[in-house]
C-alpha cells in the first residue's frame, strides 16, 4: 500500500464494514467548514501539484529512452497525485477485497457516479481508462498526464468512433505491459441509487471481467454530478466556451469539484469483486447483465432497465414504438385465439 | 444536489398532504419537491406540460400525451395531486378514477367507443390497422356485456377493474 499519510485504510485495521469516520478526520478542526479549513485543503492540493509536476515533467522528458522505468515512475506519481486529490476532498475511502493485479487478458468494470470514481480507484492502482475527451483544463490533464497511464479516448458524438475504440480496447488487453484497463459500462454518470443498462463493449473482448462496486455514503456530500444540466442546450457551444463557464444554471465539473472540496467529506466504499468469465452459451449482453447484478447487489443499488444515454437526448421514437408493437401483438394474438 | 428542503415549511407540507388526501408521507413530499424544483428550470413554481416530455421514461410511454392532456401545466400542489394516483397508499378507487380520466378523451364524464379508440390508437401506433382496432374494441365490449354505442361511466370502470390486481405504483426515493 502507498504511504501517503493516514488517509488510506490499511488492511491491518479493524475489519469494519463501514469506515469509522472519527478515525480519519483530523481531530476537531475539520468538523466545521471554516475559512481555515478551506485554506488547508487548497494548500494540500497545491503542494500535491507542485510535487507531482516537479517529478513528472523531468521524468517524462528525461527518461524518454527508458520506457519501462519511465512508465513505472509515472504510474506511481499518478497514484500519488490521485491520493492528494482524494485528500483534498477529505476522502474517506474503504477498500474491500484483493487489490487488482497486473495481468493480461483482464478488464475491470465499475459502476459510475462521478469523475472522481476514476480518481478514487486510480489512487489504489494505476488503471488505464477509457474516457470521453473533455474540453478545458480537464482535457489538458487528459492529454498529458493520463496519456502516460495509457488511456483510450472516445467521442460520444462520432458514429464511426465505436469501431475504432473497440479495436483499441482489444489491442490494449492483449498487451502484456499495459496498465489494467478500467471501463465504466454504464457509459455515463448515474446517481448512486441505481445502475442503468451496461453497454456490452467491455464484455465482448474475450477476457476475464473483474467487477468493482463503488458506493458513496451521502451522509456528507452527494458525489453525483449531473452533466446533463450542462450539456442541455447547444452542446457544441458548450464545448467552445470551455469547462469553466456554467450555462443556464447548470453545473460545470469545475464547480462540482469545488463543491466537493469544500464539503465535509467524500465517504465511499470500494469492493473489488470476484473475476467473472463468459459462461458457455451466454451472450455478451447476458454476461453484462449478470455482472451488473453482482455489482448492484454488493453496492446496494437498484437495477433499472434503461439506457444511460437517455440522459442526453430525447429518446428516439423506436422505444415508444417497441412498446406499442408489444401491446398490439399481444392484443392481436388474443383476438386470433377467439 | 445537496439542496435541503428548507424552502418548504411544515405548514406547506401538511397543506399539500391534505390536498392529495394523505397519499404521500411527509418525507415523500419533501423528495418530490426536490424533483419538482429540478424540473422547474426557470424557478417560477410552474412546470409546463412539455417539460414532462423531457423526462425520458415518461416520453417513451405511449400514453404520455393523453396523460398530459389532463392538466395544462402544474404547480407543486397539482403535481402532487397528479402523482397521488401512483402512490402505494392510494386507494383502488383513486387509481381507477385516474384511469377513467385518461380514457375520457373528450372530457365529458363518459367514455365512448371513440374515446377508447383514441387511447387504443396511442397504445398500438402503427402496429395495428384502424379496422383491426375497431374489431378488437367491438369484441372486447361485447365480451364485457356492452355494445358499440354504450357510454361507460365511472361506476362501469369500477366494476370492470375493481376486482383486478391493479399494480399502478411508483416508489418515491426517500433520502
ipTM of the complex: 0.77
Residue pLDDT, tens place only, A181-224:
888 888 877 888 888 888 888 888 888 899 999 998 866 666 66
pLDDT recorded at residue A256: 67
Lowest mean pLDDT among A26-35, A190-199, A241-250: A241-250
CATH homologous superfamily of B12-90 equals EF-hand (1.10.238.10)
Task: Tell me which of A266 and A283 has the higher pLDDT.
Answer: A283
φ/ψ of A267, rounded to 5, equals -110, 125
Asked if the C-beta of B139 comes within 8 angstroms of chain A's C-beta atoms, the answer is: yes
* Closest listed residue to residue A184, CA positions, set A124, A242, A122: A122
| Cβ-based neighbours of A35, under 8 Å, separated by 6 or more | none
Interface test with B, best of A320, A322, A329, A338 (most B CBs within 10 A): A320
Lowest mean pLDDT among A233-237, A330-334, B113-117, B155-159: A233-237
Contact B124 A251 (CB under 8 A): no
Contact B128 A323 (CB under 8 A): no
Contact B60 A319 (CB under 8 A): yes
Q: Rounded to whole angstroms, how far apart are CA atoms B25 and B10?
A: 12
Contact A226 B1 (CB under 8 A): yes
Task: Tell me which of A272 and A24 has the higher pLDDT.
Answer: A272
pLDDT recorded at residue A149: 73
Quote the cell numbers at residue B8: 418548504
Contact B1 A222 (CB under 8 A): yes
Cell 397508499 belongs to residue:
B89
Taking the alpha carbons of B31, B32, B35, B41 in that order, is the dihedral positive or negative? negative
Judge whether A185 and A201 are in contact, CB under 8 Å.
yes
CB nearest B124 (choices: A193, A311, A328): A328
CB nearest B124 (choices: A222, A314, A327): A327
Chain B residues with CB-CB distance to A263 below 8 A: 2
**B12-90 shares its CATH topology with B91-165:** yes
Q: Rounded to whole angstroms, how far apart are CA atoms A283 and A173?
A: 20
* Candidate CATH numbers 2.60.40.10, 3.30.9.100, 1.10.8.10, 1.10.238.10; the one for domain B91-165: 1.10.238.10
Domain boundaries, chain B: 12-90, 91-165
Amino acid at each position: 500500500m502507498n504511504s501517503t499519510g493516514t488517509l488510506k485504510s490499511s488492511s491491518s485495521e479493524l475489519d469494519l464494514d463501514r469506515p469509522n469516520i472519527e478515525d480519519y478526520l483530523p481531530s476537531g478542526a475539520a468538523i466545521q467548514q471554516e475559512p481555515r479549513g478551506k485554506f488547508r485543503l487548497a494548500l494540500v492540493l497545491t503542494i500535491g501539484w507542485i510535487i507531482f509536476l516537479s517529478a513528472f515533467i523531468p521524468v517524462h522528458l528525461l527518461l524518454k529512452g527508458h520506457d519501462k522505468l519511465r512508465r513505472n515512475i509515472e504510474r506511481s506519481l499518478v497514484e500519488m497525485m490521485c491520493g492528494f486529490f482524494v485528500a483534498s476532498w477529505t476522502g474517506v475511502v474503504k477498500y474491500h477485497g484483493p487489490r487488482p493485479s497486473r495481468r493480461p487478458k483482464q478488464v475491470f468494470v465499475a459502476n459510475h457516479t462521478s469523475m472522481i470514481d476514476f480518481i478514487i480507484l486510480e489512487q489504489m492502482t494505476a488503471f488505464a481508462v477509457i474516457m470521453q475527451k473533455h474540453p478545458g483544463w480537464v482535457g489538458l490533464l487528459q492529454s498529458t498526464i493520463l496519456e502516460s497511464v495509457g488511456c483510450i479516448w472516445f467521442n460520444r458524438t462520432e458514429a464511426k468512433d465505436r469501431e475504432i475504440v473497440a479495436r483499441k480496447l482489444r489491442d490494449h488487453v492483449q498487451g502484456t505491459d499495459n496498465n489494467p484497463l478500467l471501463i465504466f459500462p454504464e457509459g455515463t454518470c448515474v446517481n448512486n441509487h441505481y445502475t442503468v443498462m451496461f453497454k456490452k463493449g467491455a464484455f465482448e473482448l474475450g477476457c476475464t471481467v473483474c467487477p468493482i462496486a463503488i458506493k458513496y455514503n451521502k451522509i456528507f456530500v452527494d458525489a453525483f454530478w449531473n452533466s446533463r444540466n450542462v450539456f442541455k442546450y447547444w452542446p457544441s457551444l458548450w464545448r467552445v466556451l470551455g469547462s469553466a463557464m456554467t450555462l443556464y444554471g447548470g453545473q460545470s465539473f469545475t464547480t462540482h469539484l469545488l463543491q466537493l472540496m469544500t464539503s465535509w467529506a467524500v465517504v465511499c466504499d470500494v469492493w473489488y469483486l470476484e473475476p467473472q468469465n463468459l459462461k458457455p452459451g451466454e451472450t455478451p449482453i447476458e454476461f453484462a447483465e449478470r455482472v451488473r447484478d453482482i455489482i448492484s447487489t454488493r453496492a446496494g443499488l437498484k437495477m433499472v432497465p434503461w439506457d444511460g444515454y437517455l440522459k442526453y437526448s430525447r429518446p428516439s421514437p423506436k422505444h415508444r414504438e417497441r412498446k406499442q408493437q408489444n401491446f398490439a401483438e399481444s392484443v392481436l394474438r388474443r383476438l386470433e385465439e377467439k | 444536489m445537496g439542496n435541503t428542503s428548507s424552502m418548504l415549511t411544515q405548514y406547506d407540507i401538511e397543506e399539500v398532504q391534505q390536498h392529495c388526501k394523505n397519499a404521500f408521507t411527509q418525507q415523500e413530499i419533501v423528495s418530490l419537491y426536490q424533483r419538482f424544483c429540478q424540473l422547474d428550470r426557470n424557478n417560477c413554481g410552474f412546470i409546463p406540460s412539455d417539460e414532462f416530455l423531457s423526462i425520458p421514461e415518461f416520453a417513451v410511454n405511449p400514453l404520455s400525451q393523453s396523460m398530459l392532456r389532463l392538466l395544462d401545466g402544474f404547480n407543486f400542489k397539482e403535481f402532487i395531486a397528479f402523482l397521488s394516483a401512483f402512490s402505494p397508499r392510494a386507494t383502488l378507487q383513486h387509481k381507477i378514477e385516474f384511469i377513467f380520466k385518461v380514457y375520457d378523451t373528450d372530457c365529458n364524464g363518459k367514455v365512448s367507443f371513440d374515446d377508447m379508440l383514441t387511447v387504443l390508437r396511442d397504445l398500438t401506433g402503427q402496429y395495428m390497422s384502424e379496422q383491426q382496432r375497431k374489431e378488437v374494441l367491438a369484441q372486447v365490449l361485447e365480451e364485457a356485456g356492452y355494445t358499440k354505442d354504450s357510454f361507460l361511466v365511472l361506476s362501469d370502470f369500477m366494476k370492470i377493474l375493481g376486482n383486478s390486481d391493479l399494480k399502478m405504483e411508483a416508489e418515491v426515493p426517500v433520502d
